[in-house]
Structure 1
Amino acid sequence: MNFFKTLGNIFSNQGREEELTSSESGWNRVSSEKEVDEIILSSNHKTQVLYKHSTRCATSFFALQNLKSISEEKIKKTDFYLIDVIGQRNIAGYISQQLHVRHESPQVLILRDGKVVWHGSHHMVQTDNVVRYL
């Protein structure tokens, strides 16, 4: 397999959606604007993490790989959600509108008590930064 085909497979959507949202990974998929509203409400009882991910972006790929190193202990105490910004543009935009945070990708938003307590994008999307606010 040549280099460009390998690179294309790494960043393609093929089979990755299931990997990203499998029960072992701790990530849940957001499927509607109503669900976004429920996540915001749930942040009054438990910390919520929204991760906006692009399957076409190398920075997103490496950010997600980094976030996968969050400990099981932290994962159990927090709800994690993944939004595919390519396939779910409307949901990604709705999140930005509801939470008053400019849309970027990759981007993490950490919610507590109905508000964003931390958000970061691009190279700020790192386990150390996220864990600080969980």
Structure 2
Amino acid sequence: MSFLSGLRGMVSGRASLSEKWLQPEAEEDLDKMVAANSGKHVIYKHSYSCAVCLFSKLKVEEIMDKYDDRASFHFVDVLKNRALSRKIADMTGLRHESPQIIVLNDGKVFWHESHSGISKEELEKAILS
């Protein structure tokens, strides 16, 4: 695959996701995750039409590969699943943005960031804290 075709796939939403991502599809999936109330959950909200999202996703996946034993990682395609994205905003009290990363600890917002504020170092600190 050439670099340009890979980039086109990332932008169009056809790029493959790591198998480590959990992909909640319905509001009930989110309710179950929060109800379990155990450990750390990383919710990453992504838009395939956003260039900033492309690079943020790569940062998050690097951390995911390193710490998938310490947190579960949930990928939400905000264009495909607007209702779930709105539910996350309502549940957390955080304004919707994309890219956006939210770390829940025992069901409560522990850390969040969006756009260029998403960094591997800060996400790593949030997961290890």
In the TM superposition, structure 1's runs of 4+ consecutive aligned residues that sit over 3 Å from their partners are: 4-10
Equivalent position of 1:128 in the other structure:
121
Please provide the CA RMSD for this pair: 2.1
Equivalent position of 1:35 in the other structure:
29
Matched, 1:100 2:96: no
Matched, 1:76 2:73: no
State the 1:73 CA deviation: 4.6
* Alignment coverage as a number of residue pairs: 125
Matched, 1:61 2:37: no
The 1-side partners of 2:32 and 2:91 are apart by: 12
Output the amino acid matched with 1:96: A
Give the 3-state SS of the residue equivalent to 2:95 in structure 1: coil
Give the 3-state SS of the residue equivalent to 1:28 in structure 2: coil
Is the CA contact 2:41–2:73 (under 8 Å) kept in the aligned structure 1? yes
Give the 3-state SS of the residue equivalent to 2:126 in structure 1: coil
Segment of structure 1 superposing worse, 55-64 or 120-129:
120-129
State the 1:113 CA deviation: 2.0
Where does the alignment leave 5 or more consecutive residues of structure 2 unmatched?
Answer: none
Where does the alignment leave 5 or more consecutive residues of structure 1 unmatched?
Answer: none
Matched, 1:114 2:73: no
Give the 3-state SS of the residue equivalent to 1:67 in structure 2: helix
Output the amino acid matched with 1:12: S
The percentage of aligned residue pairs carrying the same residue is: 30
Equivalent position of 2:12 in the other structure:
12
TM-score normalised per structure 2? 0.87
Output the amino acid matched with 1:76: D
Give the 3-state SS of the residue equivalent to 1:76 in structure 2: coil
TM-score normalised per structure 1? 0.84
The 2-side partners of 1:120 and 1:31 are apart by: 22
The 1-side partners of 2:51 and 2:126 are apart by: 25
